[in-house]
Structure 1
């Protein structure tokens, strides 16, 4: 919950009681990944695997520009959601509450999709496509 309070700017309509219940369920169902630095939680990811959807992604502000998000995505792609698109929702374009989440997801390869309303807040879905094997070009092409 300490991490939640540090990243709540990414979830403007987050209900702490509901979050705690959902987190406990996700941990029990092995749908939560956590990263600790010594004794402090610095990253948390809660997801569903069919379809592959990130329900919560929180990175401690001091580690936000590190590679923790990529580390979580790699784990999802390799272990929990192989050969699946990964979906997440975040702020809509020009939302003044966005502190850089959209930009980070785009840099990680996510592509914009439809707009939505979630928890009475305007959001936009993003998808990280399945990485196709790069076509090896024939030297005569």
Structure 2
């Protein structure tokens, strides 16, 4: 079994590799505007609201979140590195950054949407519960909720 790399805060020198990952997985993110995303990513890196797992210098797993909104806003794992525990490691790390009792949310695909099967399994494995059904960028989604223990 391969060693799972460590989840650490993203840094400015991770930006280019992170964007390369975003380009690979962009089809899974309805409404993603890459130029707008780049600006947000720079801010999030500066605010220590990004986590990465790297293979050498290459970002193979990336997670963006908000301390203020208490939410995971982006999670992606390079398709070549899936099923290695990278996504779960990132989610567990972000949960550990919030105080006990905090309600952390994430928006993902609804049940029955094959694009979201793996994401839904991951969040459930991490202990998230299904929440309300919503629509984001004209796409049917669902909120998942985790109460930090």
Do the two structures share a fold, i.e. TM-score over 0.5?
Answer: yes
For residues 68 and 77 of structure 1, do their structure 2 counterparts lie closer, same or farther at Cα, with a shift above 3 Å needed? same
**Distance between the aligned counterparts of 1:126 and 1:12, measured in 2?**
18
Aligned match for 2:124, one of 68, 84, 106: 106
> How many matched pairs?
130
Question: Residue 89 of structure 2 corresponds to which residue in structure 1?
Answer: 71
TM-score, scaled relative to structure 2: 0.78
Q: Does the aligned pair in 1 maintain the 2:87–2:122 contact within 8 Å?
A: no
Task: Output aligned runs, 1:5-20, within 5 Å.
Answer: 5-20=23-38
Question: Residue 12 of structure 2 corresponds to which residue in structure 1?
Answer: none
- CA deviation map 1:109-128 (0-9, x unaligned): 21100011112221100012
Gapped regions of structure 1 (runs ≥ 5): 132-141
Higher radius of gyration, 1 or 2 = 1
Gapped regions of structure 2 (runs ≥ 5): 1-18
TM-score, scaled relative to structure 1: 0.82
- CA deviation map 1:36-71 (0-9, x unaligned): 111211011110113420011111112221222222
Question: Residue 136 of structure 1 corresponds to which residue in structure 2?
Answer: none
Question: Residue 134 of structure 2 corresponds to which residue in structure 1?
Answer: 116
Aligned match for 2:62, one of 24, 39, 44: 44
Judging by fraction of residues, say which structure has more helix: 2
